[in-house]
Amino acid sequence: MSAREVVLGVGGGIAAYKACDLLRRLQDAGFGVTVVPTPSSLHFVGKATWEALSGRPVTTTVWERVDEVRHVHLASVSNFNIVAPATADLIARIAQGRADDLLTNTLLASTVPTLIVPAMHPAMWASSATQSNVSLLRSRGYIVMEPDRGRLTGKDVGVGRFPETARILEAFKEITERANDLSGVKILITAGGTREMIDPIRFIGNKSSGRQGYALAKAAMKRGAEVTLILANSSLPDLEGVTTIRVDSADEMYAQVSSRFLSCDLIAMSAAVADAKPAKFSESKIKKGALSAIELLPNKDIIATVAKEKKHQIVIAFAAETSLDISEAERKMMVKSADILYLNDVSGSEIFGSEQTQGVILTSDISGSIHHQKIDRTSKDTLSDLLLDQALSKLG
């Protein structure tokens, strides 16, 4: 199998016949394509056509070639998925996380970029159910194309037509280019919340779950970067393809970051670092009668300290605030020598531990002016790609 493997999922819509041309053009572009039709799509285009065109076996359920565990195998060898055409039902099933045929099983087991190409009657496309399923998929990082406007199967005209092959290939090209655009780039990411021990039982900590930095590490790794993740007190598992170093305190995190900073190209400091630590660690548990005030010592500002030494490094800092105070964010950018800062609105209790985020991306240009991009509620995965896009443009 080449490094350009595609799973082409075909849904049960009349546009299935147009996916034959898409398959051919993908092969022309050098992709190896395995077609996974839904059982109902075989009413429109039969298995024999797909096998002849792809030159590969074609199955539709998990009950064929069971010994191969095909959904897991396909999910692990595929570099990209395209679902074309995606019917309203198929979109709903993917959004729900259903796994009732080979295609939905494969997509559920897959972590690679997925392009969804809808085609259906305009009223079905416009329905609130489909639209909310599409938003949900987009929020999870799927790329869902807008269908074309034009004549449908019957006499109806509207938005719902399967896009021209050229437009699908263009959207796909963008995805494949992005897939390796960070190849050779060394990225250091911090995530989670540090803990400053008071005694063997108690600590000063914070609510960070580590999800934003984790999403960044995953996105950067998928785009070909060499990623080191310094993870503080997070229950999230190690990511395959990412070097994960686990730490507890701000001092430990500082040691890990400072020893690696000058050999990285980009640092994303998403960890919530405790600003202070107890002046004295008590080796034995402090009895409640003796617990009163805790004397604190300030911790090093990790990013501000290492970024002072920066050469070509691009610095992404984060600021979690309960109000979107832009001038405070701009001040932090200066203090931390950050090129990019994500001002995270954590008002309410919804952001910590959630897969969603909202806030503002601040970027500074060569002249020193600062630009703002408002981020409405979106997934931490999507935000990660936006931040990496910004960083990439600065890396040149």
Residues forming the active site = 206
Interactions with ligand CTP, residue window 106-165 (CB under 6 A): none
Q: Which residues of 352-372 are buried (b: 16+ CB within 10 A; e: fewer)?
A: beeeebbbbbbbbeeeeeeee
Tokens of 36: 């996974």
H-run or E-run covering 258: helix 250-260
- Taking CB under 6 A as the criterion, which residues in 318-377 touch ligand CTP? 318-320, 332, 336
**Smaller CB distance to ligand CTP: residue 227 or 320?**
320
Pick the closer one to ligand CTP by CB: 26 or 316: 316
Nearest CA among 86, 84, 82, 37 for reference residue 58: 37
231 part of the interface to ligand CTP, by CB under 6 A: no
Report the C-alpha gap between 2 and 78 in whole angstroms. Answer: 9
Name the amino acid, one letter, at 240: E
> Phi and psi for 150 in degrees, rounded to 5?
160, -165
Q: Output 133 or 212, the one with its CB closest to ligand CTP.
A: 212
Count helices and strands (H / E) in the chain. Answer: 13, 19
CB nearer to ligand CTP: pick between 155 and 308: 308
CA angle 116, 184, 168 (to 5 degrees): 20
Helix axes 102-109, 70-77, angle to 10 degrees: 50
Query: What SS3 class is residue 54?
Result: helix
d(CA 23, CA 32): 9
Q: Compute the least distance from the CB of residue 332 to ligand CTP, in Å.
A: 6
Cβ 289 to ligand CTP, closest distance in Å? 32
How many residues in the shown chain lie near ligand CTP by CB under 6 A?
15
C-beta of 220 vs 317, nearer to ligand CTP: 317
Residues 6+ apart with CB under 8 A from 205: 193, 194, 195, 196, 233, 274
Contact segment (CB under 6 A) with ligand CTP among 21-29, 35-43, 56-64, 268-276 equals: 268-276
* Residues between 270 and 329 with contacts to ligand CTP, criterion CB under 6 A: 271, 273, 275, 299, 301-303, 317-320
Give residues in contact with ligand CTP (CB under 6 A). Answer: 250, 269, 271, 273, 275, 299, 301-303, 317-320, 332, 336
